[in-house]
Amino acid sequence: MVCPNCRSNVSDKRIRCDRCGQDLEIYKKVYRVSNMYYNQGLAKARVRDLSGAIIALRKSLELNKLNTNARNLLGLIYFEMGETVAALSEWVISKHFQPDNNDTDRYINSVQENPTKLDNLNQAIKRYNNALSFAKQGSDDLAIIQLKRVLQLNPNFIRAYHLISLLYMKNGEREKAKKCLSKAARIDVNNTTTLRYLKELEPQTAAGKEGDASVNDDKDATSSIMPVTSYREEKPNVMAFVNLIIGVLIGLAVAAFLIFPTIKNKDANNDVARNHEDYSAGLAALEEKDAIIEQLQNEKDELETTVATLRAELDSIIIPEVNPNLYDSLFEISSLLTEEFSKEERDRDFKQIAEKLRLLDTSMYETDAALQLADKFKQMVYPIASEQFYDTGHDIYGEGRYEEALQYLLQAYYFNPDNYDAIYFIGRAYHRLQDYDNAKIYYELIVNNFQDTRRYDSAKSYLGQIQD
């Protein structure tokens, strides 16, 4: 293993560094735990539990950022899930920590050697971002069209499967959503987002409770049964029957002379009232139909206006064309970095890469991963490039070519504002050129901000000469 204090090689059996005396027992435990998490991630990746593998590998790198095996595997998993930029980011960092005998060379070359595939991955990222914008605007149809094209360009893009499934679920197309989620599940079997969406698509089982209706029905049926009572048949009474017949005849006679004419008049009045009621009801129904027709006509006019407005908005929408060269500069910088790290340390030249990073326009990037990768490149390259610019400028300064030296020294200061050697010799170059105003500026930077450096006393002395 490598001693974390003096960076010298130490035998795995030693618990203390022979060179600096650093206690290595805790570091060995940390490395063992890091390797344990790496093995867990590898085991999960083999059964396509990619989400679980990512969690384990990230824990491994938190404990040991130099574990290039874990970082390379994390990049492969990102690439398998369609996250190309994140994968390249991990591989470039791995190459930085282990320039030689690193599998990342093969991974990066496999991506860069196929321009068509690289262009497809780039377009997939761009179209996914467009689809996400359309979905936020409520244009589900346009978003689905973009996502279908994304999945043709990059069939393993899990986030695209999730978004198109959500849109299908929103529009009630549950079978299509389930089909897309099944494809995503085949890529990453334990993705929590995929499993949660599939859970939402499961049919809702309504547990019907069987009531006591049958019991109640039985009670109702039994309660309607009358109890049995004693019955005795009476003898017929003839006089009562005769009296009943006489009463009926008298009633019919009275009805013939008194009730029937009244009934006829009443029926006539009822017919007139009924006819008037029918006429009023018919008139009211007619008016109601007219009102409904008028309302429908208004709704039709409003719908036609809405359709015309939406068609105009749709025609006015400009779908941004995919710029296939958007990330070319970033990939070129990645390739140059890989090339430089493959050289011997004394032969590496980062000045050209730093210039390309300075001119890199990141305002068009729409993914956080691309911006983070550009920032990582700058953090990695700028300090080294500053030292290289300083060395070149210092050599030219020693030859007395002060104006030419300023070009390199100012570059060194730009790429690392804490490079006090560059600041000091910028002041000296201006002093030599008798540009005392500018010389004073840089002398004051040393005096005010770098009191603990070896340039402080000299800068203070020269500043006093100018001020006097």
DSSP assignment of 172-205, as one string?
A: T-HHHHHHHHHHHHHH-TT-HHHHHHHHHTS---
Token pair of 185 as six digits: 């599940």
CA distances from 34 to 89, 96, 359, 440 (A): 20, 19, 38, 52
Mean pLDDT of 178-204: 88
Choose the weakest-confidence range: 5-14, 113-122, 173-182.
5-14
Distance, in Å, from the CA atom of 413 to the CA atom of 410, rounded to the nearest integer, reads 5
What average pLDDT does this structure show over 384-396?
A: 91
State the pLDDT at residue 444: 92
Per the listing, tokens 């890529």 go with: 187
Instruction: Answer whether residue 80 shows pLDDT above 70.
Output: yes
pLDDT per residue as tens digits for the range 309-366: 766 765 665 544 445 466 677 778 877 878 877 777 777 888 888 888 888 877 777 6
Note whether 25-113 and 328-467 share their fold: yes
Q: Contact at 8 Å (CB) between 59 and 37?
A: yes
Q: How many CA atoms lie within 13 A of 322 on its CB side?
A: 19
3-class secondary structure, 73: helix
Q: How far is CA 168 from CA 146, 159, 191, 192, in A?
A: 14, 14, 19, 19
Do the Cβ atoms of 330 and 107 come closer than 8 Å?
Answer: no
112 φ/ψ angles, rounded to the nearest 5 degrees: -75, -25
Query: What whole-number distance in Å separates Cα of residue 120 and Cα of residue 133?
Result: 20
pLDDT band, very low/low/confident/very high, at 401 (cuts 50, 70, 90): very high
| pTM summary value | 0.46
Task: Calculate ∠ Cα 398-400-405, nearest 5°.
Answer: 75
Residues 111-140 have a mean pLDDT of: 86
For residue range 252-276, list pLDDT tens digits in order: 665 555 555 555 555 555 655 555 5
Res. 55: pLDDT tops 90 = yes
Domain 118-200 has CATH 1.25.40.10: yes
Return the pLDDT at 433: 92
Evaluate whether 107 touches 338 at the Cβ level (below 8 Å).
no
Q: Who's near 23: CB < 8 A, 6+ residues apart?
A: 15, 16
* The pLDDT of residue 265: 58
Q: What is the average per-residue pLDDT within 100-128? A: 85
d(CA 72, CA 78): 10
DSSP 100: S
pLDDT band at 229 (very low <50, low <70, confident <90, very high): very low
| Mean pLDDT across 94-116 | 85
Second CATH level (architecture) for the domain 328-467: Alpha Horseshoe (1.25)
Cβ neighbours of 316 (radius 10 Å): 7
- Cα–Cα distance for residue pair 55/257, rounded to 1 Å: 105
The residue extents of the domains of the chain are: 25-113, 118-200, 243-270, 328-467
- Token pair in block for residue 402: 């002060």
Secondary structure of 108-174 in HEC code, one letter for each residue: HHHHHCCHHHHHHHHHHHHHHHHHHHHHHHCCHHHHHHHHHHHHHHCCCCHHHHHHHHHHHHHCCCH
Return the percentage of the chain with pLDDT > 70, whole number: 71
Q: Which CATH superfamily is domain 25-113 in?
A: Tetratricopeptide repeat domain (1.25.40.10)
pLDDT, tens only, 354-377: 888 888 877 777 677 778 888 888
Q: Two tokens at 327?
A: 């990330």
